[in-house]
Chain A
Amino acid sequence: MSPIAADTTTTWLTLSAMVLPFAAFLIIFFLSRPRVAISLAVSLICSAIPLLVAWWLLLHNHGMRAPMVFQVLWMTGGQVAVTFGFLLDPLSLVMLVIVTSISFLVQVYSLGYMAGDPGMAKYYSFLSLFAWSMIGLVVASNLMQLYIFWELVGLSSYLLIGFWHHKFSASQAGKKAFVMTRLGDLGFFLGIIVLLLNLGDLSIIGLNSQAAAKLSPALLTTSAVLVFCGVVGKSAQFPLLTWLPDAMEGPTPVSALLHSATMVAAGVYLVSRLYPMYSASPDALAVILAIGTITMLLASTMAMVARDIKQVWAYSTVSQLGFMLMGLGAGSYFAGVFHLTTHAAFKALLFLCSGVFIHHFATNDFFAMSKMGARSLRIPMVCITIAGAALAGIFPLAGFFSKETIMGALAELDQGVWLWAGLLGAFLTAYYSFRLLFVMWLPKESHAPQAEASADAKDQAHAAHDEHGHSSGGYWAMASALIVLACFTIALGLFDKKLIDFLHWGSPPSLPHHTWLLVTAVAAVLIGVALAWLEFGRKASAQQGFLSRLPALETLFAQRWYLDALYRRLTDYVVYGVFSRLFTMNDRRVVDGAIDGVCRGTVGTGWLLSFLQSGLLQYNLFIMVLIIAMIGLYFLLL
């Protein structure tokens, strides 16, 4: 359908939503950093307004039949034209609501979590920077604009992960995140260039409508796969997945906002945005499906052995993103988007609950937490259970419905292996989520292994400070965010009909529903829960997984399938050892050596020639005579 120009109210509202967070960042970072209260107020206001705008836009346009566009030419150079503006269609409205809601809730939550941190104002400025970049990405009307905000999101992530930069591990994690996502972005950028040079038009609407028609299949697949490289980086898919667990070095609200609900979902969002283009290339979809599946399974195994609460949810995020990509790759636009929406709610909730525990107990190890009496904190425990159950896919929580949709899409495929993979993933997901839940609910006194000191040092200092003046205000700031998200987690499942209707412009495709599939999926989940109960929940259990009897496998999973080691080796040996060292030596010995050699040669020639100046009169005379004789000969022969 052809876009219509946005009306004035919509334009002004959307532009204000796009610009206000940036204004907040500038104000807080450059002006009001010493005055924390003002900074907080500015940030919250500039976060609340986009939230209201997003909800208003969604509700106002719930029956929209054509996308709304507004754009302004921002830069032009040769054939490159970058526009700044927005494209409002069902997908971007839904995503905008998700982003602004979770952003606002996280900001409220951080009032309690980061209270007392000396860099609190700077933290809020970075959150505003992130909000600005993410909103700009979501409503981007043009792939180049999307890329620009994609990079800015990466920058915000770097700044926020390494927020406590006096800790070496935090700055290391930030750097790793940035470099790995950059690697993916290389492919993305090349894809953009290919599309630009072949199509000339990078607007989202243009790409979706024309790419399939105008590009040859090979070119279409190439550019689609290249763009997907960016997704692999940003959404932490295989093989660029190890940055996400490390990104847990950042404050927990950051993990909730960026690394579960919004930023990493940007990759999935990108695929959904360009879905008409992707669905025209079956090879690209196959690639997406394959990578999504591998990632989902790999990450689930890693989550099974993790002892750090944030790491479990981090691996889970990677795994669930893979699951979303499986849905998209299987051909169902709605499946991927629906799961993205529900996942944003319950994953953010999981992280925020974990944050409360971390804040309270000064450790990330959930075994230790549970022994210290985690289950006495009622609200977080209830919320984390709701969220964990949603993740596992328990009826009637939101996660159940979105999982079913993806399973349905997988069942439609010709090869059954994908569906089996999906079922296996569901089983593993249920297992690791309930493992954590059972440990938290039912601490064992004696047989539990020693808690590892996997504590986040800054979180420790944080909690220590907190013990002194734990204001109930701070607690309620955090708790209110949890309650709101929990409500969403419960309620979202009921909106699937409305959502699919909205996303497909009022004429949704009929979703396949197979009873045998439903039964099988539910069975997989229940088996996972049962296994977790057996190993972690029962009174007599040792709270040790079956994997501890297979130490080789356990180590493999705990070491992230040695991917990290591989990357470390690659960086150290190939990048530093080979290229860097080679080029440096080349510079010093060969290039510089050549220049210094020329100099030495010049000096040497001078030294040689100085022998002519022997001081002996007769040598000079001889040369004079020689030259005169030569001149004489010259004139003689002429």
Chain B
Amino acid sequence: MDFPFLSAIMLAPGAGVLVILFLPPESNRAVRWVSLISAGISLALTLYIFIAYDAAAGGLQFVERSLWVKSLGIYYFLAVDGISLPLVLLTSIVFFTGVWTMWDLKDRGKEFFALMLLMVLGVYGVFMALDLFFLFVFYDVSLFPMYPLIAIWGSTRKEYGALKLTLYLLAGSALVLPGILYVYFQSGVFSFDLFEIARAGLPPAVQSFGFLLFLFGFGVLAGLWPFHTWSPVGHVAAPTAVSMIHAGVLMKLGAYGVLRVGMTLCPQGLMEWSPLMATLATVGIVYGAFVGLAQTDLKYVIGYSSVSHMGLVSLGLATGTLGGVDGAVFQMFAHGVMTALFFSTVGHIYGQTHTKLIPELGGMAKVMPRASFFFILAALAGIGVPCLASFWAELLVFINGFQVYPLLGIAAVLGLVVSALFMLRVVQRTFYGEKNQKFAATPDMSLVMVLPRAMLAGTILLFGLLPRLMLDTIQTGVAPLVELFK
């Protein structure tokens, strides 16, 4: 492939950062437009490669590989396959709509957008890089900007949330780095190239221990129970676009890491530790739903629902079956879009009413019908209503989960009912009921601001009605991987 699409996608935000840094501090408009344009470039290129990806051929496409450091065996290796392509698409969509959602940011916009672009660059890098060194570097690049983004522009308990989130995730990466080095030294090929190590194979003991390191190291970021408590606190504290990216994309980094690094390099480790992983995942599913029932802050509710849904992803991965991993990857995509829609809408509500507490809201459907529509759609997606993307994902995960672990499957399915209960309860208490007198005069979303949410909603509907558009691609990536788990 001649034109380096993947590098372009990744460096568009990088170029954006550079341009923004040279803009004068008061030029908010220019900053926003630069960010939107760079996000738009990334999105356009991503859509192109998504459509141009040859699902029949499968495998790695749009490969860019060159030697970086010879003595250590580091390669600049970017490529996408059926697993990472949906996630790159997810990142682009959430990035673009996230920038648009923050259009009204007045306070220190230059620093905010610069940091956000940097973070997204890191995220793109993780999804595209197939060299362990670069993967880790990009992983940390995406983590660091979270701290100032939350601590400066956040809301509820922002310093505590920012500190907790950053330290917790760094602790996770402190497990990942030894894992990477361990695998690097034990493989015997002295290359950080993921597929070379996979081809060389690792001894069973190494696989077992390595998988544990990767499972817990990446699992922290994936919201694996019980290492999930950074997530609700962080969600609540973060500003809107950061929450969107954080819950929508960042948590998928963790699951992707488990899949790409842990499961590809240490398949025997997966088979050995899969019961543990599945148990923790199922606990997360049910636990997240029950705790979500008790929350009074809208963002906490969504945060715990994220914990529950990421539990589904982990369960799908733990099954090691074709359908299960397919469902897990699809759920990563579907949940990412859905949760971005959630946070985007809540951001609007918070921006207008300055409260996220459910007891203070109520009857908002009459006050802001457009915002209500998007929230309710996202809630229905969260419940797993057919025609919305997460239904298919949940279907696959539950069926395969039950097949491999019947008891856990039954417990997980129980989560369906509890999640319906708490989602509908939130919807009812926030939006239904008598028209809210306190906020009766707050404006609804303008048509311009409806568009990003409509993009997200449209994505959920599109892949809900036509799942094969995504699932066929995912399957080409997952099928060769699952062969390792037989």
Q: Which residues of A contact B (CB under 8 A)?
A: 74-80, 82, 148-149, 151-152, 155, 158, 162, 165-166, 168, 171-172, 174-175, 178-179, 182-183, 185-186, 189-190, 193, 196-197, 575-576, 579-581, 583-584, 587, 591-592, 595, 599
Indicate if B152 sits at the interface (CB-CB under 8 A): no
Chain A residue at minimal CB-CB distance from B393: A77
CA A193 to CA B397, docked complex, whole Å: 11
Indicate if B380 sits at the interface (CB-CB under 8 A): yes
Is the pair B432, A162 in contact by a Cβ cutoff of 8 Å?
yes
Indicate if B327 sits at the interface (CB-CB under 8 A): yes
Partner of A190, one of B323, B410, B421: B410
Is the pair A75, B416 in contact by a Cβ cutoff of 8 Å?
no
CA A595 to CA B165, docked complex, whole Å: 11
Question: Which chain B residues border A79 with CB–CB below 8 Å?
Answer: 322-323
Is the pair B471, A193 in contact by a Cβ cutoff of 8 Å?
no
Q: List 27 A-B contacts (CB under 8 A).
A: A74-B467, A75-B471, A78-B322, A80-B323, A82-B395, A149-B386, A151-B391, A152-B386, A165-B431, A168-B432, A172-B428, A178-B424, A179-B421, A182-B416, A185-B416, A186-B416, A186-B417, A193-B402, A193-B403, A197-B399, A575-B290, A575-B421, A576-B294, A580-B290, A584-B294, A587-B291, A595-B230
Which of A162, A171, A172 has the most CB atoms of chain B within a 10 A radius of its CB? A171
Task: Give chain A nearest CB distance to B290 CB in angstroms.
Answer: 4
From known contacts A74-B467, A78-B321, infer whether A587 and B229 are also in contact, taking CB-CB under 8 Å: yes
From known contacts A75-B467, A583-B287, A583-B290, infer whether A80 and B433 are also in contact, taking CB-CB under 8 Å: no
Partner of B432, one of A82, A165, A183, A193: A165
Is the pair B168, A595 in contact by a Cβ cutoff of 8 Å?
yes
CA A584 to CA B301, docked complex, whole Å: 12
Partner of B402, one of A190, A576, A580: A190
Is the pair B392, A78 in contact by a Cβ cutoff of 8 Å?
no
Restricting to B387-443, which residues have a CB under 8 Å from any CB of A? 387, 391-392, 395-396, 398-400, 402-403, 409-410, 413-414, 416-418, 420-421, 424-425, 428, 431-435
Closest 7 CB pairs of A and B: A78-B323, A171-B432, A78-B322, A165-B432, A148-B386, A77-B326, A580-B293
Proximity string of chain B (361-385) to chain A, C-beta cutoff 8 Å, 1 when within and 0 when not: 0010110000000000000100001
Count chain B residues whose beta carbon lies closer than 8 angstroms to a beta carbon of A.
57
Proximity string of chain B (290-334) to chain A, C-beta cutoff 8 Å, 1 when within and 0 when not: 110111000000000000000000000000011110110010000
CA A366 to CA B439, docked complex, whole Å: 40
Question: Which chain A residues border B65 with CB–CB below 8 Å?
Answer: none
Partner of A592, one of B229, B392, B414: B229
From known contacts A75-B468, A77-B326, A166-B363, infer whether A155 and B385 are also in contact, taking CB-CB under 8 Å: yes
CA A172 to CA B330, docked complex, whole Å: 33
Indicate if B475 sits at the interface (CB-CB under 8 A): yes
Chain B residue at minimal CB-CB distance from A185: B416
Question: Which chain B residues border A155 with CB–CB below 8 Å?
Answer: 380, 385
CA A158 to CA B392, docked complex, whole Å: 21
Question: Which chain A residues border B480 with CB–CB below 8 Å?
Answer: none
Question: Which chain A residues border B203 with CB–CB below 8 Å?
Answer: none
Proximity string of chain B (275-287) to chain A, C-beta cutoff 8 Å, 1 when within and 0 when not: 0000000000001
Chain A residue at minimal CB-CB distance from B402: A193
A interface: dominant SS = helix
Is the pair A175, B424 in contact by a Cβ cutoff of 8 Å?
yes
Is the pair A75, B366 in contact by a Cβ cutoff of 8 Å?
no
Q: Which residues of B contact A (CB under 8 A)?
A: 164, 167-168, 226, 228-230, 287, 290-291, 293-295, 321-324, 326-327, 330, 363, 365-366, 380, 385-387, 391-392, 395-396, 398-400, 402-403, 409-410, 413-414, 416-418, 420-421, 424-425, 428, 431-435, 467-468, 471, 475
CA A183 to CA B415, docked complex, whole Å: 11
CA A208 to CA B300, docked complex, whole Å: 47
Question: Which chain A residues border B327 with CB–CB below 8 Å?
Answer: 77
Chain B residue at minimal CB-CB distance from A596: B164
From known contacts A76-B471, A190-B410, infer whether A179 and B363 are also in contact, taking CB-CB under 8 Å: no
Is the pair B290, A193 in contact by a Cβ cutoff of 8 Å?
no
Question: Which chain B residues border A584 with CB–CB below 8 Å?
Answer: 290-291, 294-295
Task: Give chain A nearest CB distance to B378 CB in angstroms.
Answer: 14
Question: Which chain B residues border A190 with CB–CB below 8 Å?
Answer: 402, 410, 413
Task: Give chain B nearest CB distance to A156 CB in angstroms.
Answer: 10
Is the pair A581, B294 in contact by a Cβ cutoff of 8 Å?
yes
Is the pair A152, B385 in contact by a Cβ cutoff of 8 Å?
yes
Question: Which chain B residues border A581 with CB–CB below 8 Å?
Answer: 294
Question: Which chain A residues border B428 with CB–CB below 8 Å?
Answer: 162, 171-172, 175
Which of A151, A172, A193, A581 has the most CB atoms of chain B within a 10 A radius of its CB? A193
Task: Give chain B nearest CB distance to A117 CB in angstroms.
Answer: 14
Chain B residue at minimal CB-CB distance from A184: B417
Is the pair B229, A186 in contact by a Cβ cutoff of 8 Å?
no
Is the pair A78, B400 in contact by a Cβ cutoff of 8 Å?
yes
Is the pair B399, A80 in contact by a Cβ cutoff of 8 Å?
yes
Is the pair A179, B467 in contact by a Cβ cutoff of 8 Å?
no
From known contacts A166-B363, A584-B291, A591-B229, infer whether A78 and B396 are also in contact, taking CB-CB under 8 Å: yes
Question: Which chain A residues border B409 with CB–CB below 8 Å?
Answer: 193
Is the pair A78, B324 in contact by a Cβ cutoff of 8 Å?
yes
Question: Which chain A residues border B475 with CB–CB below 8 Å?
Answer: 76-77
Is the pair A175, B425 in contact by a Cβ cutoff of 8 Å?
yes
CA A178 to CA B435, docked complex, whole Å: 23
Chain B residue at minimal CB-CB distance from A186: B413
Q: A75-B471, A193-B403, A575-B293 are in contact. List 10 more A-B contacts (CB 8 A).
A: A75-B467, A77-B322, A80-B399, A162-B428, A166-B365, A168-B434, A175-B421, A182-B420, A580-B294, A587-B291
CA A587 to CA B229, docked complex, whole Å: 7
Is the pair B323, A183 in contact by a Cβ cutoff of 8 Å?
no
From known contacts A75-B392, A75-B471, A80-B396, infer whether A186 and B414 are also in contact, taking CB-CB under 8 Å: yes
Which of A196, A197, A579, A587 has the most CB atoms of chain B within a 10 A radius of its CB? A587
Question: Which chain A residues border B230 with CB–CB below 8 Å?
Answer: 595
CA A189 to CA B410, docked complex, whole Å: 10
CA A149 to CA B386, docked complex, whole Å: 8
From known contacts A171-B433, A595-B168, infer whether A77 and B403 are also in contact, taking CB-CB under 8 Å: no
CA A80 to CA B324, docked complex, whole Å: 10
Which of A77, A158, A587 has the most CB atoms of chain B within a 10 A radius of its CB? A77
Question: Which chain A residues border B471 with CB–CB below 8 Å?
Answer: 75-77
Chain A residue at minimal CB-CB distance from B400: A78
CA A175 to CA B379, docked complex, whole Å: 13
Is the pair B435, A166 in contact by a Cβ cutoff of 8 Å?
yes
Task: Give chain A nearest CB distance to B307 CB in angstroms.
Answer: 9
Chain B residue at minimal CB-CB distance from A172: B428
CA A85 to CA B160, docked complex, whole Å: 54
Task: Give chain B nearest CB distance to A129 CB in angstroms.
Answer: 10
Question: Which chain A residues border B366 with CB–CB below 8 Å?
Answer: 166
From known contacts A78-B400, A171-B432, A584-B294, infer whether A183 and B229 are also in contact, taking CB-CB under 8 Å: no
Question: Which chain A residues border B396 with CB–CB below 8 Å?
Answer: 77-78, 80
Question: Which chain A residues border B228 with CB–CB below 8 Å?
Answer: 591
Question: Which chain B residues border A179 with CB–CB below 8 Å?
Answer: 417, 420-421, 424
Is the pair B420, A178 in contact by a Cβ cutoff of 8 Å?
yes
Chain A residue at minimal CB-CB distance from B168: A595
Is the pair B294, A189 in contact by a Cβ cutoff of 8 Å?
no
Is the pair B229, A74 in contact by a Cβ cutoff of 8 Å?
no
Question: Which chain A residues border B380 with CB–CB below 8 Å?
Answer: 155
Chain B residue at minimal CB-CB distance from A578: B290
CA A162 to CA B425, docked complex, whole Å: 13
Task: Give chain A nearest CB distance to B407 CB in angstroms.
Answer: 12
Task: Give chain B nearest CB distance to A467 CB in angstroms.
Answer: 24
Chain A residue at minimal CB-CB distance from B468: A75
CA A296 to CA B475, docked complex, whole Å: 49
Partner of A189, one of B293, B365, B398: B398
Question: Which chain B residues border A576 with CB–CB below 8 Å?
Answer: 293-294
Is the pair B398, A193 in contact by a Cβ cutoff of 8 Å?
yes
Question: Which chain B residues border A82 with CB–CB below 8 Å?
Answer: 395
Which of A149, A172, A175 has the most CB atoms of chain B within a 10 A radius of its CB? A175
Question: Which chain A residues border B416 with CB–CB below 8 Å?
Answer: 182, 185-186, 189
Is the pair B229, A77 in contact by a Cβ cutoff of 8 Å?
no
